[in-house]
Amino acid sequence: MGKRHRNLIGRIADTDNLHDAYHKAARGRRSSAGYLNFKEYEAAWLAKLRRDILDQTYLPGKPRTFWVYEPKPRPITAAPFQDRVVQHALCNVIGPIFEAGMMPQAYACRKGRGMHGAAIRTQALMRQTRRRGDLYCLKTDFSKYFYSIDRAVLWRRIEAKISCRHTLWLIEQFTPREGVGLPIGSLTSQLWANVYGTEVDRFLAQTMGESRFVRYMDDLCIFGHSRSYLHALRDWLEMFCRHALGLTFSKWSIQPASRGVNFVGYRIFLTHKLLRRDSVRRAKRKIKRYTLARDKEALRFFLAAWLGHARWADSHNLLRSLAAQHRQLTQEVACSAKTKSPAASSALPTTAA
């Protein structure tokens, strides 16, 4: 058994750590009502959170739940701002502890890795493995991953690393020991989903002796030189995930890597990367909707995020096409506005009698 960490609560409730957590929680939310209320009484809020954590009287507030529909419908749980501060303070201290035990094949929600790092590593792994013969890819993901996490199994992993009872109490305020599932949208849920997925990584690397894979949360790509090998590996992996973790595959496929690998928003080939078709379709719909509605602010925010994602692929011609589409739509909107203007002003006298 590895090292167990104790006496962590003092670091979590440290004033400097809470200030750092406050600034992290404020990123991208400086116009929200929760942030503005917290900022107005910043010193009092931070002192209260510190006191409640140390006295074990802290209780999370009621979260807000809303739905997102792209790329698929799912509920998102948004914690009140003060709870986000506490979660950041907690993860500032315990995050590195669990990060040290994660496998290098995991890329989701990890500093210096992320979606683009996963795409780059996948292509590099394809090129390295391809030199030794034909290359196939087993691509799979788990059905309702966050909602299928067995919290009893998760807590065994938590208690294997942390022995500080006060810290375990604070963790339990956000992640109860009993039941199944974690809410999407919580900072602690991201950490625990990664910790849970480490069991999959360890099974592949340590039990099956397979290191040619990349995992991005519940999406998994494994490379091999034969279909039969990957079919057998899939059977073993499915059995382990079902019986040890309570996870099932939602879909899976084994295809030649020469057809491209659909992973982390890209179609990855040995020589280049393209954006996925559904991502391009959604982008075109949003550009058209925002342009016709003349919502320049929403269009600016969307393009800033989406273009940043698109430029990691070989997308020069696509971006030129989208720019031309946007110019054409803008001209049509301008022409439409001009044709309405004379009709509206025709009732007004053009010259004095």
**φ and ψ of 216, to 5 deg:** -120, 95
Quick check: helix, strand or coil at residue 11?
helix
Q: Residue 291: what pLDDT? A: 83
Write down the H helix ranges in 14-164: 15-26, 33-40, 42-55, 81-99, 114-130, 145-148, 151-161
Strand-pair partners of 253: 139
The per-residue pLDDT string of the chain (353 residues; one tens digit each, 9 = 90 and over) reads 568 999 999 999 999 999 999 999 999 888 889 999 999 999 999 999 999 999 999 999 998 888 887 777 888 888 999 999 999 999 999 999 999 999 999 999 998 899 999 999 999 999 988 776 789 999 999 999 999 999 999 999 999 999 999 999 999 999 999 999 999 989 999 999 999 999 999 999 999 999 999 999 999 999 999 999 999 999 999 999 999 999 999 989 999 998 999 999 899 999 999 998 888 888 888 888 888 888 888 888 888 888 888 888 888 888 887 777 777 777 767 777 666 655 444 433 433 33
Q: Residue 322: what pLDDT? A: 77
Q: Residue 77: what pLDDT? A: 87
Q: Residue 348: what pLDDT? A: 36
In one-letter notation, the amino acid at residue 76 is: I
In one-letter notation, the amino acid at residue 253 is: S
Residue 206 contacts residue 98 (beta carbons within 8 Å)? no
CA distance 48 to 42: 10
CA distance 198 to 192: 10
CA distance 218 to 144: 9
Residue 43 contacts residue 50 (beta carbons within 8 Å)? no
Q: Residue 328: what pLDDT? A: 73
- Whether the full predicted model's pTM is greater than 0.75, yes or no, is yes
Q: What kind and span of H or E run contains 262?
A: strand 261-263
**Would you give the distance in Å from CA 154 to the centre of its chain?**
19
Q: What kind and span of H or E run contains 215?
A: strand 213-216
Quick check: helix, strand or coil at residue 43?
helix
Running DSSP on this structure, what letter comes out for residue 79? Answer: -
